[in-house]
Each structure stands twice: as C-alpha cells, then as structure tokens.
Structure 1
Amino acid sequence: MNRDNLGQNRLTGESINVLVTVDANYIKPLKVLLFSLQQNNRQQAFDIWLLHAGITDEALSALANFVAQLGFTLHVIKVDMTLWDAAPTFKQYPPEMYFRLLCGAYLPATLKRVIYLDPDILVINPIKPLYDLPLTTHMMAAASHMGLTGITQTINHVRLGTKQAYFNSGVMLMDLDKMRARIHLTDILDVITKRGKELILPDQDILNFLYGEEILPLPEEIWNYDTRDNIVHFAKSLGEVDMQWVIKNTVILHFCGRPKPWEKGGMNRYAVLYQHYEQLLYHAFGD
C-alpha cells in the first residue's frame, strides 16, 4: 500500500467533523480508528478534532503528519484540567473521558455538528448517513447496548433513577448549539459531588442521568455494535445479524470492555478484523 496515495481521489463536498478525546496511551488505537475511517470512506473529507490534556508536542506533530497523509485535517485543542480536579477518574477512565460532555464549550462556536468516537472502534462502512441524520429536537443521538434480556437497562434505571434507555457514550452524533445551551459544568460537578461514589462509568452515568431524555436512540447493530455481544445480536435477530450481515450493514464496531483487541488475549470474534487493520496500517506507515 502506497501511503502517498492514501488521501487522494477525494470529493470536495462538506467535510464531516469527528471528535476524539484521548491521552498519549491511546494514540496508536486512535490511528487504527482513523485509518479504518479513511479506508471505508475514501471519497469523504474529514476534520478531526482532538481534545487532550497533556499529549506532548512531539507526539502531536507525528499524529498531525499521519492525519495529513490520510487526507484529513487535524485540529488540536488542549483542555485546562483545573476545573476537573473534583471529577472521579480511574486507570481505565482517564480525565479525557469528561471532555465530550462539554465539547461544545471547547470547540469553535462556528462548529455546529460533530460525531464523537471512542478510540477503541473500527469504522467499516460509510459514516455519512449518521452525520446527516436529522436530530429534530434532540441534543444528541446514541445507541443503547440492550443485551438479550434488557436486565442491565433495568439495573441502570434503578441505580440512576432514570426511565429512558441507558445510552453508550462511545458513539454520539452531537448538535453543538443545543449542547452549548443545555450542558453546564456546574451541573456536571454537582452530580459528581453528590453522587460521585455511585458512578460506575462516570461520564456515561452523568450523560444518562442529566441528559438521557434528550438523546435520539440509534440502532446499536449499525451504529455502535458491541463486539462482545455478537451472540446476543444473532439471537435477537433470529439469525439474521450474523458476520456477513455485520460486514455489509454495520458501520461502527465498538470493542467495549477488556481485553482490547490490541492487547494480549483480546480475541473476541472481531479481534482478527481489528488486527487486520493494524497490519494494514503497519504496512502503510510502519510503527
């Protein structure tokens, strides 16, 4: 694969804005995500918006060079973490996980719409239909991982005192103007102060607790396919949603939980596909 040709033959239509929030440990998975995005959206322009707290200038320069070779444009915004000192963080949930909640405040006011993507994702089909989705009165669109019986949803309703579906925050279409008007740091910090010890997935719990009723549901098997649940999807669809269906119809594969497909032992059904993209990336760019 010739890296010089990766970003060529692009259309000149409206660019899709994609938001990512990572620390230095997730730069390599981020590159796999962006590579998969480019490989399966070859005639689509993208602006990649990176919110970070402490990635080095050297690493950012290398990432910008990589993104440019994909034919994308990278915008880097460093977030002041002083206001987030009270937020609960854990090894597997770094401070960057909160940035998506207030991204409207960090991103330029001229930016109206963005797709947020976690770094543990492959994009395997065109993503523009999601970007063009009408949100009507909703502030965001996201998917719920319902499982086979929905018992996890019931547990989250009891735990958080909510009634709507519990949405996964790893893939979200965002109306930034609505978010700027509705989402405030004081509200988020108030939940953290009062209920911080109860938060299992802190930013996702806050998203659902404060804003769940303003989220448009997306079909998970297309827009946020939890790769741990392939048997669940197969059973719920009476055998329709098999691997062939996924390759043809699913847009976003989300490698939720542990181990990740780039880690030793990360061998769920779709880990081999992830490792295939890693290998293609290696042949195109090296380490």
Structure 2
Amino acid sequence: MNLLFSIDDRFYRQLITVLYSLTLNSPENKINVYVITTPEFSHAGELKRACHQLKMVFHQVIIPTDAFADAPVTDRYPKTIYYRLLAHQYLPADLHRILYLDADLLCINDLTHFYQMDLTGYMYASAIHTNLTNTTDVINKLRLQNFDADGYYNSGVLLMNLDEIRQKIKPTDIFDYIQEHILLLPDQDVLNALYGKYIRTVPDQLYNFDTRNLRVYEAISTGQWNLNWVMEHTVFLHFCGRQKPWLATTNRGKFTALYKNYFKLANRLG
C-alpha cells in the first residue's frame, strides 16, 4: 500500500497521528509513506523514526526550490497547491496506485477495500461532501463549467490511478487554467474543473466524513448514520474547516476528544 502526503513543518505531528491511526485500524502489512516536502523541511528525521516504529517505510519526496518556476504563484495561490496534482512527476515511475491523504484526518476502520477498488478508466476516486440540498453542487458546476462531473469533489482523500494520471495531466493545462480563472479553493477547483469527469465517486459517509456535519449526516440518513454507525463503519474522519481538534481547548465537536487521544498517543513516537 502506498500513501501520499504533502506537508510543511507545521503539520508533521498531525501526519504522525494519521499514520498511527492507520496502523491501529488497517491490517496492511507493508505501507510505503511518501511525503512531499520542500528542501527546507526540518522534521524528516522524526517522521522516519515514527514510520520505523510503526513498521512503515518512509520516503521523502523533495520538490526542488525552482519547481513550478513558470507556474502562476500569488499569496493566495502558493506553490503547494500544485503538489498533489503534479505529484506523479516526482514519484517513482514504477508506482501505479497511491492514496493521497490530508494531514487533518483519522483512519478509524480498515481502508483496504477502498484502496483496492477498481479504477479502470478513472484517474481518481474521491467523495462529494453530502448536503441537505444539491444547491452547492449546482453552483459549483456553473462556476467551473464541469457538467459531466457527478458533483464537487473534496481533494483531501484522493485514491490515484497513476497510469491514467500520467497520460492525462499536463502541467501547462493546470497553469493556464489558474491564470484564466478566479478560484475559491485553488487545487480543489482545478481538480474538479479539469478532471471531475474522470473521478469515481465514493460515499463520503465512509471515506471522507466531514466531522462538522454529524447532524447533517444523521438527517440525510433518517438517523442511520449516527455516532455509533460512524465508529463502526466510517474509514476516514476529516476535520475540515478552520477549527482543528489539536488546537481546541474545549470540546468543539463529537470527535475532538477522540482526535486528541490519538494525537497524544501518536506523538510519543518519533
């Protein structure tokens, strides 16, 4: 199993927490962890030690300082927005599949079924975050003009078919699109606008559960997707938004205490 992350120095402890949760809840024996960083990243040693303790193999993928020199970059659109979309340029050529994960999530059930799903003809598998109405999806389709896509995909959990990606993604397409459009969530907007029709949709209540919206999930499912159901079935809890659980001084949600427990135990490693 191959996992992909892209972080800076602020998030190495959160990444260790993700890896710890994976170890506890997925039985995969060999996990390769690829972490995209800049040359200035200073916590590779801690990550390598933590991976060793978790019986994972750490691979640092250093993006050269002059990478994307010709790409449009502003305060709002830093270079980091390109890393997950163009990771295939820096990953080993013999990798065919990899799972990109944001560092602000937990794995609380086995991800093997998700990782092994059929991606024939698709570049990615990803989830569309559930809403009580489809108004947001309609607005995003109008905004991005991607009417062939099922909806607006969240880029925090992306199962990647690297063979398809290498065939279809051209950096100039991404650079040109950013120069020509006003974007709200840069990398996510690009993913949806250019490649939304090549994404296999997976259920967000299983693979990208937005922890802010437990009540919404319960309402949509007429009570089925309650807290007990989530703990038994959901694979990834995603702590979206600005209020991150590792910063919380009070219990801001049902899952804050759970995250803090994983964070505390995980960071005894490294």
Q: Fold conserved (TM > 0.5)?
A: yes
Moved more, 207-216 or 59-68: 59-68
**Counterpart code for 2:94:** T
Corresponding position of 1:181: 167
Name the CA distance, whole Å, in 1 between partners of 2:162 and 2:183: 25
Conserved in 1, the CA contact under 8 Å of 2:26 and 2:110?
A: yes
Counterpart Cα distance in 2 of 1:158 and 1:230: 28
Q: CA deviation at 1:42?
A: 4.3
What are the ranges of 5 or more consecutive residues in structure 2 without an aligned counterpart? none
Distance 2:122 2:129 in 1: 20
Provide the aligned length of Structure 1 versus Structure 2.
266
Which residue of structure 2 lines up, in the alignment, with residue 29 of structure 1? 14
Structure 2: how far apart are the matches of 1:90 and 1:269?
A: 34
Normalised by the length of structure 2, the TM-score is 0.93
Q: Tell me what 1:193 maps to.
A: 179
> Match of 1:204?
188
Structure 1: 4+ residue segments shifted above 6 A: none
Q: Report the CA distance between 1:81 and its aligned residue.
A: 4.4
Provide the secondary structure at the position in 1 that maps to 2:66: helix
Which residue matches 2:118?
134
Following the alignment from structure 2 to structure 1, what is the Cα–Cα distance between the partners of residues 196 and 172? Answer: 18
One-letter amino acid of the structure 2 residue matched with residue 231 of structure 1: R
**Alignment root-mean-square deviation, CA:** 1.8
- 2:263 matched to 1:281? no
Measure, in 2, the Cα distance between the counterparts of 1:268 and 1:176. Answer: 36
Match of 1:247 in 2: 231
Seen in structure 2, the aligned counterparts of structure 1 residues 227 and 72 have a Cα distance that, compared at 3 Å, is: same
Aligned to 1:229: 213
* Shift in alpha-carbon separation, 1:97–1:35, aligned structure 2, 3 A: farther
Matches of 2:131 and 2:263, distance apart in 1: 29
Match of 2:101 in 1: 117
Please tell me whether the aligned partners of residues 221 and 233 of structure 1 are also in contact (alpha carbons under 8 angstroms). Answer: yes
Q: Which has the higher helix share?
A: 1
Higher alpha-carbon deviation: 128-137 or 38-47: 38-47
| Offset, 1:98 | 1.9
Q: 1:44 matched to which residue of 2?
A: 29
Which residue is equivalent to 1:59? 43
How far has the Cα of 1:155 moved from its partner? 1.6
Q: Which residue of 2 aligns with 1:159?
A: 143
Name which of structure 1's ranges 114-123 and 32-41 shifts more when overlaid on structure 2: 32-41
Between stretches 260-269 and 235-244, larger displacement belongs to 260-269
TM-score computed with the length of structure 1 as normaliser: 0.88
Which shifted more, 113-122 or 99-108?
Answer: 99-108
Distance in 1 separating the partners of 2:209 and 2:138: 20
